[in-house]
Amino acid sequence: MLVTVLFIFELICCASAELHPLKGPIGGPRGQSWEAKDDLLRQWKIIPDIIDDLPTYKIKLRFSDGWYPTFFVHLMPNDTTIQTAPVSTRWPIESNTTLYTLVMIDPDMPTPKNHEWREYRNWLVGNIPGNSTFDGQIISKYQPPQVPHPGGAHRIFFLVYKQKQKIEFEEKLTDARYDGRERRNFCVRNFSRKYDLGEPVALTMMYVTWRMPI
């Protein structure tokens, strides 16, 4: 009974925690150090509501048009760049045989003010050798950010976790691209605890909005 109550409490915390709206320039001043991102994530309550600390590394994503997004990049939801999964993902690895898990989540679904689907799971791949995502085990197929109009800006997070060993994931394959019922109310904290993943080792973020900043 105690375990059940604790699990329900954690699930409620993941679903209802208030995240601070984005303020100020995305990514901070040009040339800002990676460590300075910690202050931004705390200001917006990403730390500690989703993760506890700033990961050591930044994830680099390469999409089909060859474009690499940087930390806190602005995009439109209908941008063709993000309609299909990245063709390449890069972060520093220990070796080509070390296994990792990649998670892409949206804590602002369906809207930042009405985030009853938090966290929304856009993409989940486990047992990735090195950073060869396409050789990993797909648990949720890639779904591009779903930002209704008007719906406010959505923060899209990519998190990488280092695995201690190969994992037999219990989650069913989320195959349908636009059927979001299986993707809603995911909690990356609970997922990490369930499989003993610890804290993420790498991170990047997209800021997807219907109106580009002036």
pLDDT, tens digit, for every residue of 10-27?
343 455 444 444 433 334
- Percentage of the chain modeled with pLDDT above 90: 39
Higher pLDDT, 82 or 71: 82
196: left (phi over 0), alpha (psi -120 to 50) or beta: left
* Between residues 208 and 139, the one the model is more confident about: 139
Residue with tokens 């219990």: 170
| Rounded CA separation 104/125 (Å) | 9
Please give the C-alpha separations between residue 107 and each of 54, 133, 157, in angstroms, as whole numbers.
17, 23, 8
Would you state the pLDDT for residue 193?
96
Q: How large a percentage of the chain has pLDDT more than 70?
A: 73
| Most confident of the following: 57-71, 96-110, 167-181 | 96-110
- Most confidently predicted of 71-80, 108-117, 199-208: 199-208
* pLDDT for the residue numbered 84: 87
Between CA 186 and CA 192 the distance in angstroms is: 11
User: What CA–CA distance (Å, rounded) separates 13 from 116?
Assistant: 12
